[in-house]
Amino acid sequence: MERETKRVHTEVWLVEQPTGGFTYLTAGIDAMGQEVVAGTERVWWQFQQDYAGRSEPLPVVAITDGTRTIRRQLAELFGQPMPLILDWYHLDKKVES
């Protein structure tokens, strides 16, 4: 007898570290798949840890599917609209249409 697996959706954020390399961040979820720490909160915390002492603006670009929800999250997170690059999958779909 097969068990049904519950699917959980969460965004994955890729943050470049000031010393080089990248950190992958996601929302915190509990054993039931419920979000307990929002992904944007986790990204904000990471940026504070890595870049709090920086005086010049951060060169931030998002590679995403371009949904309004993601654009809104980024604007709220950084206090202004962010430059977006459409991810390859969605760019391919848009060009083929």
pLDDT digits (tens, 9 = 90+) for 2-35: 667 666 566 778 888 888 888 888 888 888 878 8
Structure tokens at 25: 């961040």
Confidence of residue 1 (pLDDT cuts 50, 70, 90): low
Q: Considering the entire predicted model, what is its pTM?
A: 0.67
Torsion of CA 63, 68, 12, 51, to 10 degrees: 70
24-63: string of b/e by CB count within 10 Å (b at 16+)? ebebeeeeeeeeeeebbebbeeebeebeeeeeeeeeeebe
CA–CA gap between residue 97 and residue 68 (Å, rounded) = 20
CA–CA gap between residue 71 and residue 62 (Å, rounded) = 9
